[in-house]
Amino acid sequence: MELLNTIPWMLIASSVAKTLFLIFLVVLPIVSYTVYAERRVSALIQDRLGPNRTGFPISLFGFKKDLQLFLGGLGQPVADAVKFLLKEEFTPAHVNKFYFWLAPVLAMVPALSTLAVLPFGNYLFGQKMVVADVNVGILYVFAIASIGVYGIVLAGWSSNSKYPFLGGIRASSQMISYELSLGLSAVPVLMIIGNLNLSDAIQYQIDNGWLLLPFTDGKLTLREFLLWIPVLISFIVFTISMFAETNRLPFDLPESETELVAGYHTEYSAMKFALFFLGEYAAMIAGSSIIVVLFLGGWHVPLLPINTLESSMTPGGIALGFLHITAFFAKVIGILIFFIWVRWTLPRFRFDQLMKLGWLYLFEIALVNIFITAGIIALVK
Amino acid sequence: MAYTVRRPNLTFWEKIYLPNIIAGLAITFKHLKKMLKGETHVVMQYPEEKWDAHLPEYYRGAPTLVKDEHGRERCVSCQLCEFICPPRAIKITPGSIPSESKFAKVEKFPEAFDIDMSRCIYCGLCEEVCPEQAIFLRKDYAVTGESRADMVHHKEKLYELGGTMPDLVHKWNPEK
Amino acid sequence: MSTEVPLLNVQIDGVWMQFPKGTKVIEACSQAGKFIPRYCYHPKLSIPGNCRMCLIEMGMPKMTPDRKPVLGPDGRPEIGWIPRPQISCAQDVAEGMGIRTDSPLVKECRQGVMEFLLINHPLDCPICDQAGECRLQEFSVEYGNSHSRFLERKVKKPKNVELGPRVTLDAERCVLCSRCIRFMKEVAKDDVLGFVDRGGFSTIACHPEKTLESNYSLNTVDICPVGALTSTDFRFKMRVWFLKETKSIDVNDGLGCNILIGSRENHIYRITPRENNDVNGNWIPDSHRLNFKYIQSEERILAPTVDQKPAAWTEATKAAVAKLKAAGKLAMIVSSKLTNEELYLAKRLATALNITLHDTLPRFETPDGILIPSDRNPNTSGARLLGAFTKEPGAHLKEIVEGVRKGTIQGVLSLGEDLLDCGFAHEDLLKLKALVVTSILPNASTKAAHVVLSGAAWAEKRGSMVNIHGRLQRLNKAVEPAGESRDDWEILRDLLEATGTVAALHSIEDVFRSMSQDVPAFAGLNLGKIGDLGLQLLPKQETATVTA
């Protein structure tokens, strides 16, 4: 009995509730509608229309017409999901079955796990809107995110087929290469903030203005202005590395369809393929979230009051809490749309160009940037 | 000797690539904006919008059979189209016109005329070879069916699609 | 016959050649590879020379005043060309004759003749059955104009006229070549056709109160160079260019007229005679050419039956042999309509089953004096050679029927014959312990049979037959056997193997090879050596007894 009493039931319950809220009400809908946005935006950029037909099939329930909201085609992600669920679950005879089945899971789980430490809102219902407010947050993110490569490598290897194999090799070298510049480019930010806890990073930005837009607190000191230069460099390097880490164009060499059919997931179909799909987009969301937390002030909206633990139970505070969550994901969606925009603008790199960029430029720039930051911090008070 | 392609000499700004990325983003954004404002109209929304009005006169759609202004089947089942048809989509069963018919002079008509639209390649050779101006490729292109049998156009369907075509060669018509 | 025919030197289009005396110029030109267009000329008929299509330029050697030919620098006679064209069909070759078949004059003449012939032609090729094998079409490609200069109204003539029960006339298409008139008069010996009216209104018609009902009337359709005479049976059934023509022989009588089977997509549409001057010339009786419909009848037995229930082939052959072996004393009736290969296998099967009593059904009727002989079985000579009957055909039939009636014979194997035709009564069939029948159509025997084996019709199989004159001829396969039916030789081979004999026969060629080893008359032959026109197997006089 005593053992039972020592278990923090309240903490577990709130964590589970937050996880469920985050994954099923926020992340998965965002993922599916990011896919929709990807198709619509790409179409619009290319002077096409994109999926604009699929509504919600309420005609099945006796209504005269299907429900078409706003743009039309909003039922497409639902239809896609249903399609993935209903398709034949096909496992080729020549694959290594265990790893073949394990790979999609390994692609999906790390991407979702990173979200655990991301503070996606302020206090709400007396709870801090972060699943696990750990003090090594950013390290946790990098650690878990690098597990994601296993899913791809295993998929490529276990498929026992040349295209997935090449895709897997490309993925592992690409992700390892860019993790360096990704990590190093985050260091200046952490040096400025002086803390690894992501909630504290947001708190710092509330107090001193967003790192990328240092005037958001209403004032712009010389130190802030000087630090803005390395922060900008950091932001650019971090964003580019994030593109590479999430296998987005112009760095989508692991699955470049013109060369490798579909890369590491060539042999996958139905829900197993859907898991890769989900994992890829969940990783995009996680990456965008980190950018938002580190550079764009997280859930903070300038000029809006900040909830405290006590005020978060009042009706006004609840509204404010939801507003902050919305602000956070609005910023994330903004970054996601930027992802999409870039994807349909830039052509794919050649693999040697990719490696050269990672090792010869971004890595050095990130490294030098640390010293610049350190210099500024040390010299300018 | 291999020919060496001279690489362009890039300026510093071109080398760091970022300005060009921004320029590219601007271009794609311009397209996006124009689409959203409805200034670009490239894609046609198929079932609602159709290109039919712009189809040229020589458009080759589904082959059809036509009747003349007296209601006579122009086809006399000479089977030349069946012979010329590259994918062998046409199958004709010839028959004789009974002597009490007002078109008895023509003697021969198709008892059955089937075009398998799942085989038809819309080449128009049937129209070209027809000595009686009986078969025409019309502007019907939405040929659909739920089974292979549905895709076979029988005589009735062919005449329904073809309708009447007046003022063609008057070889068989009663003299005025 | 063997008198020496002198060879004459003739120059055709500048080349000197030699032809036997009496050769027609039109034939000489054909032999020289210069085909002369013609409508009225037919090698088997008299020569009226009325179509004027075969015009050529002709010349005779120039003569010196002492009637010696003037020799040119090459030592050949110099030719004095006749300034007007001549018809080549009515002209025999002569010594030193010169012929021009494609000079400008000749071409112009032919163009003129074509234009005249086409003046009243209705140009209804799309509905004309002759289209595709029409001389008017062929020659108008070579000599016709693309347009008509004729402004007047065309002459209307009777169309769709029934000249007889099997022939339809379209007078507008007729070019008045008179081939049909001459054929009926000279070959069919039934002078019913003639011209009536004059000039442009001239048409073919039957003599008053007569119709074209001779058993050879359809040959007029074959020789009609245009679409004037068409077969009522084949009319509008299929365009001729779709027909696959298989060389085969007719099986309705002992002569075995050479034929072409016109079929498309496994369906026979018509049968036309094939020229073989040793057998049937260019002709065939109507009754024979129209007697193919039963092959594609709805009634056809499509699969073997055991005890009147459909069975698989392996079961049926096993059951047949088992039932025959269990029945005791057996008799076999073999049809003389079977091919040599089948008769040979039947004989081997009889030996394997210890059948000593076997016979064929003779069919002798009055001959028609033209082509049809008295023997209406196509392969009586082959049956005699292969021992299908002893002494004379039908000599033992009575003995077999009596044996069955008395009960001494309890099993009968009938290959291709209905036993009721052989003198059996229906009750006799019911007495039998085992009745095994091969047939293509149901009859009283198949309805009473314990095992029915569905065979192939004559147009569905290959094989050989020997006609009444001892000529070995070949059947070829035009269509696939109906349903599950099989070639009779395969059925017999399987029966033979079911008796325990190892036959090792895998193709009709194997059967023929085996037959040529066992039967001296066929020694050294194979199906390929027979050729399209057959091969004289026995001396003609020896087989004269068959027809007697």
Q: Is the pLDDT of residue C542 over 50?
A: no
Query: A314 Cβ partners below 8 Å, 6+ apart?
Result: none
Pick from A44, A342, A344: which is nearest to B36 by CB?
A44
User: Chain A partners of B39 at a C-beta cutoff of 8 Å?
Assistant: none
pLDDT digits (tens, 9 = 90+) for B50-96: 888 888 888 899 999 999 888 888 899 999 999 999 999 999 999 99
So what's the pLDDT on residue C548?
A: 32
Question: Taking CB atoms and an 8 Å limit, are C239 and B106 in contact across chains?
Answer: no
In Å, how far from its chain's centre is CA B160?
16
At C411, is the secondary structure helix, strand, or coil? strand
Which of B76, B90, B168, B175 best probes binding to C when mutated, by most C CB atoms within 10 angstroms? B76
Cis ω before B56 (30° cut-off from 0): no
Is the domain of A115 the same as that of A240?
Answer: yes
Amino acid at A112: L
Q: Is the pLDDT of residue A189 over 90?
A: no
Tokens of A14: 């709130």
Question: Taking CB atoms and an 8 Å limit, are C235 and B83 in contact across chains?
Answer: no
Is the domain of A286 the same as that of A266?
Answer: yes
CATH number of C7-113: 3.10.20.740
Question: Taking CB atoms and an 8 Å limit, are B107 and C160 in contact across chains?
Answer: yes
Is the domain of A74 the same as that of A146?
Answer: no
pLDDT digits (tens, 9 = 90+) for A333-366: 899 989 888 888 888 888 888 888 888 888 988 9
Pick the CATH number of C305-536 from 3.40.50.740, 1.10.10.10, 3.40.50.720, 3.30.450.20: 3.40.50.740
Is the domain of A229 the same as that of A241?
Answer: yes
Q: For residue C246, give the H/E element and its range.
A: strand C244-249
Q: Measured between alpha carbons, how far is C497 from C434 in angstroms, rounded to an integer? A: 19
Q: What is the mean pLDDT of chain A?
A: 82
Q: What is the mean pLDDT of chain C?
A: 91
pLDDT confidence of B176, banded at 50, 70, 90? very low
So what's the pLDDT on residue B173?
A: 62
User: Chain C partners of B96 at a C-beta cutoff of 8 Å?
Assistant: 235-236
Is the domain of A52 the same as that of A110?
Answer: no
pLDDT confidence of C547, banded at 50, 70, 90? very low
Q: Is the reported ipTM for this assembly greater than 0.85? A: no
Q: Measured between alpha carbons, how far is C159 from C182 in angstroms, rounded to an integer? A: 22
pLDDT digits (tens, 9 = 90+) for C51-104: 899 999 999 999 888 888 888 888 888 999 999 999 999 999 999 999 999 999
Most trustworthy range by pLDDT among A106-110, A275-279, A346-350, C136-140: C136-140
Q: Count the Cβ atoms, other than its own, within 10 Å of residue A23.
A: 16
Question: Taking CB atoms and an 8 Å limit, are A44 and B43 in contact across chains?
Answer: no
So what's the pLDDT on residue C130?
A: 92
Is the domain of A351 the same as that of A306?
Answer: yes
Instruction: Please compute the mean of the pLDDT values over residues C184-209 and round it to a whole number.
Output: 92
pLDDT digits (tens, 9 = 90+) for C313-328: 999 999 999 999 998 8
Pick from B82, B83, B107: which is nearest to C127 by CB?
B107
Residue A67 is part of which domain span?
24-86
Residue B96 touches partner C, C-beta closer than 8 Å? yes
User: Chain C partners of B94 at a C-beta cutoff of 8 Å?
Assistant: 236-238
Q: What is the pTM of this model?
A: 0.73
Percentage with pLDDT > 70 across chain A:
94
Of A151-160, C33-42, C112-121, the range with the lowest mean pLDDT is A151-160
Q: Is the pLDDT of residue C543 over 60?
A: no
So what's the pLDDT on residue C541?
A: 56
Question: Taking CB atoms and an 8 Å limit, are B77 and C235 in contact across chains?
Answer: no
Is the domain of A226 the same as that of A363?
Answer: yes
Which of C160, C170, C236 best probes binding to B when mutated, by most B CB atoms within 10 angstroms? C236
Query: A111 Cβ partners below 8 Å, 6+ apart?
Result: A145, A148, A278, A279, A280, A282, A283, A285, A286
Domain presence at residue A17: no
Residue of A112 and B159 predicted with greater confidence: B159
Q: What angle do CA A63, A68, A70 make, to 5 degrees?
A: 150
Q: Is the pLDDT of residue B174 over 70?
A: no
At C199, is the secondary structure helix, strand, or coil? helix
Domain presence at residue A19: no
- Residue extents of the structural domains in chain C: 7-113, 152-296, 305-536
CA-based nearest distance A200→chain B, Å: 32
So what's the pLDDT on residue A214?
A: 72
Tokens of C518: 């066992």
Q: Is the pLDDT of residue A49 over 70?
A: yes
Domain presence at residue A119: yes
Given A65, A86, A107, which residue is the final one in a domain? A86
Is the domain of A156 the same as that of A262?
Answer: yes
pLDDT confidence of A205, banded at 50, 70, 90? confident
Residue B108 touches partner C, C-beta closer than 8 Å? yes
Is the domain of A340 the same as that of A351?
Answer: yes
Given A63, A86, A109, which residue is the final one in a domain? A86
Instruction: Please compute the mean of the pLDDT values over residues C121-147 and round it to a whole number.
Output: 89
Number of domains present in the structure of chain A: 2
Domain presence at residue A361: yes
| Measured torsion, CA atoms of residues A210, A211, A217, A222, in degrees rounded to the nearest 10 | -170
User: Chain A partners of B18 at a C-beta cutoff of 8 Å?
Assistant: 236
Most trustworthy range by pLDDT among A243-247, C423-427, C461-465: C461-465
So what's the pLDDT on residue C56?
A: 94
User: Chain A partners of B44 at a C-beta cutoff of 8 Å?
Assistant: none
The count of C-alpha atoms lying within 13 angstroms of the C-alpha of B156, restricted to the half-sphere facing its C-beta, is: 0
Q: Which chains touch C (3 or more CB pairs under 8 A)?
A: B
Q: Is the pLDDT of residue C404 over 70?
A: yes
Is the domain of A160 the same as that of A179?
Answer: yes
Cβ–Cβ < 8 Å for C451, C437: yes
Is the domain of A92 the same as that of A30?
Answer: no
So what's the pLDDT on residue C295?
A: 93
Question: Taking CB atoms and an 8 Å limit, are B95 and C131 in contact across chains?
Answer: no
Instruction: Please compute the mean of the pLDDT values over residues B21-46 and round it to a whole number.
Output: 86
Domain presence at residue A8: no
Q: Is the pLDDT of residue A26 over 90?
A: no
Cβ–Cβ < 8 Å for C487, C476: no
Of C135-149, C183-197, C479-493, the range with the lowest mean pLDDT is C135-149
CATH number of C152-296: 3.30.70.20
